[in-house]
Structure 1
Amino acid sequence: MPKFPDFADKRVIDRHLDRLDTRGVARRDFLALASAGVAASAAATAMGWPAVAVADPSGKIAYLAWSASTEYNQLVGKGAGAAAAALGMGYTLLDGQIDAGRQLNQFEELATTQATGGFFNILDGSALRRVSQLADASKVYFGAVWDSLPWFTPFDGAGYYTLYANPEEDVAHRGVSEALLQAVSDKFGGGKVVALTGSPGGWCETARNRGREEALAKFPNIKLVDQLPGKWLREESLRATEDLLTRNKDIVGIITQNDDEAQGAIAALRNVGLKAGEDVLVAGADGTSLGAKAVRAGRQIATSGNSPVFTGALFATRIFDVAHGWVPRAAERQLYWRATVVTKDNVDGYIDRYVDNGDTEPFDYRRMSKVLHPDDWDPQADLYPLDLERHWLGYPKPADWSPPKAYAEARANGEFEKVKAEYADHYKIKFDGPSPNRKA
């Protein structure tokens, strides 16, 4: 067995950093990598022994957004870029321009550049099967948020599909819808509401619709009379809202599926001489900057505080960690996080941390990393394992479907409960509290 160098010696570390391709790995990180079992592998590579390198040659990650025109995707990109910079990695945002084929081509091109990885907000979840094949062939890690091929899991995509994660959307949108419906009851005593949906058939739309319906069931004095797809876009939602207002009289509320849609609805109300927040109440989702500011201004009743910046940071950090030797357990490859319902009562704190925060980043990105902080990592959100049966509620199972073996074993042997408890124990920097970077 070869004898490894003394990594307590600064000169030894510097010598290996010089010899290895270590873009993105600073001296101060090297010992943290060693604690994750990677530094020894790096030394082996430098000495000619079979092993993996410390970092991918390009040290670059990409966010493959279905459209860069939405504020949500812009903010996800902001979070991914900030986390990548903190981790010493390169970063790029790729605009899918509302074209699933383009997104697939972008990932294929990314794979040929030997990038470390990328993550999707993909327009058509069915493309993830092909993405998984490309990732395994090129050894490029990837993750996905929101939509997916129903019942398709990271386990079906083999080892390089490292993370599928979302806010628990039916719960989040139920809370947002209840806030709007309660406001409608308080102000108007009930009445008629309409809805803007997302992209028909997608998981996010389905989950948010379910949450909305669960909320409506609690308010028999309020009736949902009509709905049209806003397709997550402001202009589409403006036109859809104009149609809804033409088709339905005496509307007192509009439940939309994201804050870009809410902005479109607010603009449509203004165009016909109605005031959002006074004549008609509006709710959104995702916790974008414009959404939060609309809540504070009274034009919007509520949004779900997912923090798009957190989305970007979560996936960027995961790709960094797996590229540097950390191996997630089965229960860690599919995750939910708990969003907050943002209303006039808590919007000021949300804006202070996530919107009007200047140069103060809302998260300690390096502390999200289990490689850099093996003992005191902090998810900085309430993260917990995703239940497949609950997640795909309403989608018929394929005839030959059965739970992936690793997933089933993790459910049976208590790994799910262990991971949930472990993440809760490490969750110190609260999602709805002040930024960890804000000076006292």
Structure 2
Amino acid sequence: MSREFSTPSPYSRRHFLRNAGIGTALMGGAAFNPVLSSTASAASESYKVAPLHQLLLLSNEWCTIINDAALRAAKVLGLPYQSTTFNLNDSLALTQAQSAAAAGAKLFLTNSMDGSSLGPIAKTAHSLGGYLVNVGTDIPWTSPLDYGPGFSQDFHPREDIGFYGAVRETVRQAVAKFGDKATFFHITGPTGTFADDLRSAAVNHAVSEFPGVKIIGSLPGNWNAGDGQKATEDLISRLGVPNGIIAQNDGSLTGVLAALRGLGIKAGDKVLTCGVDGSTDILRAIKSGRVTATAFQSPAYHGIQAVAHLFDALNGYQFTTPERFVGFAGIVVTKDNVEGVLKRYVDNPNLPFDPRLLSHVISGDNWDPQAPLVPIKYEEYFGVVPKPAGYKPPAAYVASIKSGEFDRVTRQYEAAYKLKLEDFDYPGVKV
């Protein structure tokens, strides 16, 4: 991969690390001392810095963790940081981005609701010499390549892999417990959103591998506890108690558990349940046996990876075409590994990932994505919804596939992945 650097800022790396109050020795764990040595030596170099503004989807736990992790990663990398919340309204996100730009922000991180704000925000960022990273929903069959260099990266959890794994494990256990004719309810998300379509496809894929298993009822839980509880109560009143309930996210799964508790039905015994996201209450419910599985897609990683990418883009790192649309599969959490997940990702006061190792500019040949981060093939990811009429993929994407660049970058990312998500003894970075 090529590395090109912008004109250095008058502020040295050591200067802004000192001002951030974190010094140069941030890494915990003796096993990582060689990496610490190489990254610490970069402290004498100069890097560009610019204000970063995060646009948060909601004020829920998921977004709060992203915000906290991004804030601390920005501190490590010396980037001034602010955030606002747009409450599922992409039009408001655009207004907030424009206000932040007027106040001096150049770098933007958003968790888009429907993708409608991405083009205008990217244009705003580019006009200022800055960049945008999105960790939320985009318009199906579009990518950063459709919006120019200001939209530097789309980053997504591979829910078609992670959630599929959580559902498959739950159905497997239900078949072992109740027989091969096990029945399930499906609590979906907001109708018509791509994220909901993707998760529904993962559910259908997993259930199809067990021919006798059936989904006998489905209602939207809209990714919140209240609607998840109501949907569960409505379905049970009409169809009786199923063997399992699949919730399209852990917010609605919280509501599923509340409904079962209110009806005197023991979750984990009479009914097996699963979700996706890995919220704290659901992880603890797995530990207690009330939930069978969830797909943990660390929200902290979303924030840290995005901040490191923006830092690199600002400092002239030239990302290849495949690196601009990437994703990772999380951890399927069950009772077998939940204590490790809680240890590293929930009960740990430190950042569970190192922002400096995620920066190509700082870490160089030691770069480690610290998650199974790989480029996304559009056909695999967007294939759950029809292509728009007359759709043609971006020419740069087609060229990347044909030239072998896409596969080459994928292999490079796979080889660089050293610090595994399942390394639950990693102490993290104190910030």
TM-score (norm 2): 0.87
| Residue in structure 2 matching 1:427, options 414, 417, 425 | 417
Q: CA deviation at 1:142?
A: 0.9
Compare relative contact order (CA 8 Å, sep 6+) and give the higher one, 1 or 2.
2
Q: Is the 8 A contact 2:90 2:116 kept in 1?
A: no
Matched ranges for 1:391-430 at <5 A: 391-430=381-420
Which residue number corresponds to residue 278 of structure 1? 269
1:361 aligns with 2:354: no
Which residue number corresponds to residue 11 of structure 2? 17
Q: CA deviation at 1:17?
A: 3.1
Q: Is the 8 A contact 1:33 1:371 kept in 2?
A: no
Letter in 2 for 1:429: L
| Residue in structure 2 matching 1:95, options 81, 85, 109 | 85
| Residue in structure 1 matching 2:99, options 109, 128, 134 | 109
Question: Percent of aligned positions with the same letter in both sequences?
Answer: 32
Distance (Å, rounded) in 2 between the aligned partners of 1:25 and 1:323: 21
Q: CA deviation at 1:203?
A: 2.1
Distance (Å, rounded) in 1 between the aligned partners of 2:98 and 2:365: 36
Letter in 2 for 1:258: N
Q: CA deviation at 1:33?
A: 8.4
Distance (Å, rounded) in 2 between the aligned partners of 1:401 and 1:71: 37
Q: Which region of structure 1 is more displaced relative to structure 2, 195-204 or 326-335?
A: 195-204
| Residue in structure 2 matching 1:296, options 268, 287, 290 | 287
Q: Is the 8 A contact 1:172 1:338 kept in 2?
A: yes
Q: What number of residue pairs does the alignment pair up?
A: 404
Which residue number corresponds to residue 156 of structure 2? 166
Q: CA deviation at 1:141?
A: 1.2
Alpha-carbon displacement from aligned partner over 1:30-79 (angstroms, at most 9, x marks no partner): 974898xxx5xxxxxxxxxxxxxx424xx3323322211x2221222222
Which residue number corresponds to residue 374 of structure 2? 384
1:315 aligns with 2:309: no
Alpha-carbon displacement from aligned partner over 1:108-154 (angstroms, at most 9, x marks no partner): 21222221312221122223232233233333311112311111210
Distance (Å, rounded) in 1 between the aligned partners of 2:371 and 2:144: 22
Q: Which has the larger radius of gyration?
A: 1
Helix, strand or coil at the partner of 1:162: strand
Structure 1 stretches of 4+ moved >6 Å = 24-31
| Residue in structure 2 matching 1:233, options 219, 224, 228 | 224
Q: CA deviation at 1:201?
A: 2.2
Q: Is the 8 A contact 1:195 1:224 kept in 2?
A: yes
Letter in 2 for 1:154: P
Matched ranges for 1:56-67 at <5 A: 56=49, 59-67=50-58
Q: Is the 8 A contact 1:174 1:215 kept in 2?
A: yes
Which residue number corresponds to residue 375 of structure 1? 365
Q: Which region of structure 1 is more displaced relative to structure 2, 122-131 or 313-322?
A: 122-131
Distance (Å, rounded) in 2 between the aligned partners of 1:310 and 1:97: 21
1:55 aligns with 2:48: yes
Q: CA deviation at 1:343?
A: 0.6
Distance (Å, rounded) in 2 between the aligned partners of 1:324 and 1:381: 23
Q: Is the 8 A contact 1:184 1:281 kept in 2?
A: yes
Distance (Å, rounded) in 1 between the aligned partners of 2:132 and 2:94: 12
1:246 aligns with 2:240: no
Q: Which region of structure 1 is more displaced relative to structure 2, 413-422 or 187-196?
A: 187-196
Helix, strand or coil at the partner of 2:162: helix
Letter in 1 for 2:90: A
Helix, strand or coil at the partner of 1:184: helix
Distance (Å, rounded) in 2 between the aligned partners of 1:95 and 1:345: 36
Which residue number corresponds to residue 30 of structure 2? none
Structure 2 gaps of 5+ residues are: 1-7, 25-38
Q: Is the 8 A contact 2:134 2:153 kept in 1?
A: yes
Structure 1 gaps of 5+ residues are: 1-12, 40-53
Which residue number corresponds to residue 154 of structure 1? 144
Alpha-carbon displacement from aligned partner over 1:290-313 (angstroms, at most 9, x marks no partner): 221111111110011211111111
Distance (Å, rounded) in 2 between the aligned partners of 1:438 and 1:93: 24
Which residue number corresponds to residue 325 of structure 1? 316
Distance (Å, rounded) in 1 between the aligned partners of 2:119 and 2:428: 42
Q: Is the 8 A contact 1:128 1:149 kept in 2?
A: no
1:188 aligns with 2:181: no
Alpha-carbon displacement from aligned partner over 1:72-127 (angstroms, at most 9, x marks no partner): 21222222122112212232332112322222211121222221312221122223
Q: Is the 8 A contact 2:201 2:384 kept in 1?
A: no
Q: Is the 8 A contact 1:363 1:435 kept in 2?
A: no
TM-score (norm 1): 0.85
Q: Closer, same or farther in 2 for the Cα pair 1:87/1:176, shift >3 Å?
A: same
Letter in 2 for 1:188: F
Alpha-carbon displacement from aligned partner over 1:368-419 (angstroms, at most 9, x marks no partner): 1111111211110111111011111032223332121221111111111111
Matched ranges for 1:201-240 at <5 A: 201-240=192-231
